[in-house]
Amino acid sequence: MRAIPAVLILTGVALAGIRIGGRVGYYSGDDPRTGESASNAVYGAQILIPFMSMVQLELGGTYTGSESEITLQQYLVNYIEEESGMNFEGDSIGLAEYLEDQGWDPDDLPGDLTSSYTATFHDIDLGATLKILIPIGPLPIRPYVGGGGGAHILFSDADVLMQVVDQETGGSMAIDPYDHVHPGVHGVLGVVFEPPMLPISVFGEYRYTKPLASEGDLAGISMVSAGVNLGF
């Protein structure tokens, strides 16, 4: 029973020092469906809960989106390998024969395969990070390290391209958008500036995330960001 008041006290102390804020930075990763780079600006928000002077729990999320141009041939090569394990990279004849078997008109193949389309990519990252601050004397600047886990919600779509495939094959080879939730683990390294007597902190951070994909290997995701947290 004595543990209950202690837990309530610690919770109250943590909530009293809670901070909320936002961040902006640069996301470095690939679109898993197209294989193209999805690197772009990233935006996010977080809630920071301090438990002790050197331990903080961060609950946050980020979003990034990008567009890339890709030929129908390359898109189909990536899609077919992902769905069936068949690799037609560098094998245009084999790809054409496969598409004919799917109902594609052979007369349309040469022009269709070299046409370019726009593919869109979105990554919503939700996670929790435990941070350990490293004191360096009386200075209001403290480096920190940490790690945690979460989930990346990935969307990859190419509406016009998928409509072409559906029309050419009469629906026998309908391509669904890539929309998967991948759990992941991450590590962080950063530095925070906390002015004395002010409920504000400014930070810069590097984060590396490794998504855990069940259907195949996904490349790691790097993110560099800077942000501000405000206390109540």
Residue 99 and residue 108 in contact, taking contact as beta carbons nearer than 8 Å: no
Q: What is the pLDDT of residue 155?
A: 85
CATH number at residue 65: 2.40.160.20
Residue 215 DSSP label: S
Which residue's entry shows tokens 């996904």?
A: 218
pLDDT tens profile 13-61: 444 489 999 999 999 998 877 778 889 999 999 999 998 888 999 999 9
pTM: 0.78
Q: What is the pLDDT of residue 172?
A: 61
| Residue range of the domain that includes 109 | 3-231
Residue 211 to residue 220: CA distance in whole angstroms:
7
- Which stretches does DSSP call E strand in 17-115? 19-28, 40-52, 55-71
Question: Measured between alpha carbons, how far apart are the two ends of the chain, in Å?
Answer: 31
Domain count, the chain: 1
